[in-house]
């Protein structure tokens, strides 16, 4: 027996053990892999440096500080062509973020509505949604972007069609005198923040806080006493009434600036350019079709026993949906939803198809072509998209963790 508990006889280390002994083999494999990868990377970078030196293009980011010299159609921050390439890239980044954020919001709305409609017992509605989903999922996004852009730029009236002709009627008219759809873009009224309008903002923030407090109070009351306070209408009232009251008490500090036809184009108001509209709609409809299927699969994944159990307990269908089915469906929905958000953000780089100045068009387009700094521009752009993807995954992971089933 004692020989069993004794330590095994010490063997001297032989080289063949590196391959045949499982204790060392994994180490061998890893070291060999690492060496191979390092050699490969070294080879690539060496080639790169040799090639760049030969072309007199040593890596340097100083071009970012030089004058850009080109104009950008849609800018969220002040920008002129005298600004630097860095600022142009910044404008592009903001534009990418804008279209991605708008797209994520609209795609979610479309996807959830269509997903619920897809499951509706109404035959026509569910068929219609099936056609929508299959149509958008099976045709390339680029084609949809170009098609929707063509609709906007070909089938919408020109600004001059809004001018009354000799007989006093115009070929096109604005909707409620405030919205105009033209082939140059979509015009809508812009709010003008008058003096002391910030008080309105403070009132609104306070009412949001009040709504939260009310919700917490109602929940506490429900758990403590079982009394159910109405939720929807009081919260709605808390959010709306104080702001409206303050608006009139302070003598209407916020006014609207309506778009007006001036010369050959509209002036005033907010203009949403056609490229942005087309890109936004196409991205949202395309991603919405995928989200529809995700929502549908999520709701279907909740077993039927759950809704039956809820019904047996006397829970009404709407409350069963919000209290029993959706919380469970969300756990299934959120991970693929995250990857759809990531896809939408990455697909926003198709903006160059319609000339929307996103980061691919400014930093990776004009700046790259002007300076010839392909490596640096591509590197910066790749890093930007990588960082954006990581941020979105991070946020969605937090949401996912809060939705997770609390297991003991």
Partner 1 sequence: MSDTHAQTVAFVREGMLDQQPPPTREAGTVKWVRENLFPTWLNAILTIVSLYVIWVVVSTFVMWAFSPTWNATSLSECRQMLEELGRSTETACWGVIRDRWEQLLFGFYPSDLYWRPTVALIVLLAGLGPVLFGTFPRWFMGFSLASPFLIFLLLWGGPIWLPLTVALGFGLGVVAFRVFSRVNQIVAVLVAIVIPLLYWLLLAWPLASELARVMPIGLEPVQSKQFGGFMLSIVIGVTAIVLSLPLGILLALGRASNLFIVTKLSVVFIEIIRGVPLIVWLFTASLLLNYFLPPGTNFDLTLRVIIMVTLFSAAYIAEVVRGGLSAVPKGQYEGANSLGLSYWQSMQLIVLPQALKISIPGIVNTFIGLFKDTTLVLFIGLLDPLGLINSIRASTDWNGIYWELYVFVALLFFVACFSMGRYSLHLEKKLQREHR
CA distance 108 to 306: 25
Query: Interface with partner 1 includes 389 (CB under 8 A)?
Result: yes
Measured from the CB of residue 370, what is the shortest distance to partner 1 in angstroms? 14
Query: Interface with partner 1 includes 37 (CB under 8 A)?
Result: yes
Residue of 42, 67, 140, 311 interacting with partner 1 (CB under 8 A):
140
Token pair 């033209």 in the structure block, residue: 182
Residue of 86, 250, 352, 396 interacting with partner 1 (CB under 8 A):
352
CA distance 114 to 92: 32
Cβ distance 59 to 375 under 8 Å? Answer: yes
Query: Interface with partner 1 includes 134 (CB under 8 A)?
Result: yes
CA distance 218 to 112: 27
Residue of 254, 386, 395, 399 interacting with partner 1 (CB under 8 A):
386
Q: Which stretch binds partner 1 (CB under 8 A): 61-69, 191-199, 209-217, 376-384?
A: 376-384
Q: Which stretch binds partner 1 (CB under 8 A): 97-105, 161-169, 253-261, 346-354?
A: 346-354
Measured from the CB of residue 342, what is the shortest distance to partner 1 in angstroms? 8
Residue of 123, 176, 248, 394 interacting with partner 1 (CB under 8 A):
123
Residue 61: which residues within 8 A CB-CB, separation 6 or more? 376
Number of amino acids touching partner 1 (CB under 8 A):
53
Residue of 125, 190, 218, 260 interacting with partner 1 (CB under 8 A):
125
Token pair of 260 as six digits: 């007006």
Read out DSSP for 10-38? PPPP-TTHHHH-HHHHHHHHHHHHHHHHH
Query: Interface with partner 1 includes 97 (CB under 8 A)?
Result: no
Residue 71: which residues within 8 A CB-CB, separation 6 or more? 80, 81
Residue 234: which residues within 8 A CB-CB, separation 6 or more? 214
Query: Interface with partner 1 includes 171 (CB under 8 A)?
Result: no
Measured from the CB of residue 228, what is the shortest distance to partner 1 in angstroms? 24
CA distance 315 to 237: 26
Cβ distance 359 to 381 under 8 Å? Answer: yes
Query: Interface with partner 1 includes 349 (CB under 8 A)?
Result: yes
Query: Interface with partner 1 includes 139 (CB under 8 A)?
Result: yes
Classify residue 156 by its DSSP letter: S
Give the residue with the Cβ less far from partner 1, 329 or 351. 351
Query: Interface with partner 1 includes 48 (CB under 8 A)?
Result: yes
What is the SS3 assignment for 193?
Answer: strand
CA distance 319 to 28: 60
Measured from the CB of residue 175, what is the shortest distance to partner 1 in angstroms? 18
Nearest to 266 by CA among 167, 193, 169, 181: 181
Query: Interface with partner 1 includes 197 (CB under 8 A)?
Result: no
Residues of this chain that bind partner 1 (CB under 8 A)? 19, 26, 29-30, 33-34, 37, 44, 47-48, 50-52, 54, 117, 120-125, 128, 134-135, 137-143, 146-147, 150, 154, 346-347, 349-350, 352-353, 360, 364, 368, 374-375, 378, 381-382, 385-386, 389-390
């Amino acid at each position: 027996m004692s020989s069993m508990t004794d330590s095994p006889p010490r063997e001297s280390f032989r080289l063949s053990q590196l391959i045949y002994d499982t204790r060392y083999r994994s180490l061998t494999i890893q070291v060999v892999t690492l060496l191979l990868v390092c050699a490969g990377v070294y080879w690539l970078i060496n080639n790169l440096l040799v090639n760049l030196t030969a072309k007199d293009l040593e890596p340097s980011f100083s071009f970012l500080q030089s004058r850009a010299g080109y104009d950008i159609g849609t800018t969220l921050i002040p920008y002129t062509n005298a600004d630097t390439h860095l600022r142009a890239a910044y404008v592009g980044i903001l534009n990418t973020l804008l279209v991605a954020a708008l797209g994520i919001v609209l795609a979610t709305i479309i996807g959830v509505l269509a997903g619920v409609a897809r499951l509706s017992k109404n035959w026509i509605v569910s068929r219609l949604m099936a056609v929508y989903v299959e149509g958008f999922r099976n045709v390339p996004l680029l084609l949809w972007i170009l098609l929707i852009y063509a609709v906007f730029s070909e089938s919408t009236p020109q600004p001059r069609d809004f001018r009354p002709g000799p007989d006093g009627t115009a070929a096109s008219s604005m909707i409620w005198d405030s919205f105009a759809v033209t082939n140059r873009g979509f015009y809508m009224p812009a709010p003008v923040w008058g003096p002391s309008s910030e008080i309105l903002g403070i009132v609104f923030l306070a009412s949001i806080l009040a709504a939260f407090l009310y919700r917490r109070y109602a929940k506490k009351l429900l758990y403590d006493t079982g009394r159910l306070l109405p939720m929807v209408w009081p919260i709605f009232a808390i959010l709306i009434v104080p702001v409206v009251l303050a608006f009139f008490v302070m003598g209407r500090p916020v006014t609207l600036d309506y778009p007006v036809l001036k010369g050959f184009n509209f002036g005033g108001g907010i203009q949403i350019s056609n490229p942005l509209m087309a890109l936004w709609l196409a991205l949202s409809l395309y991603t919405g079709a995928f989200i529809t299927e995700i929502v549908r699969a999520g709701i279907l994944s909740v077993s039927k026993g759950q809704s039956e159990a809820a019904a047996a307990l006397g829970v009404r269908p709407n409350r069963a949906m919000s209290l029993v089915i959706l919380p469970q469906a969300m756990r299934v929905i959120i991970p693929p939803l995250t990857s759809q958000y990531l896809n939408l953000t990455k697909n926003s780089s198709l903006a160059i198809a319609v000339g929307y100045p996103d980061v691919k068009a400014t930093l990776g387009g004009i700046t790259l072509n002007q300076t010839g700094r392909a490596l640096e521009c591509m590197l910066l752009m790749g890093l930007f998209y990588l960082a954006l993807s990581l941020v979105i995954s991070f946020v969605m992971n937090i949401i996912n963790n809060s939705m997770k089933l609390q297991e003991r």
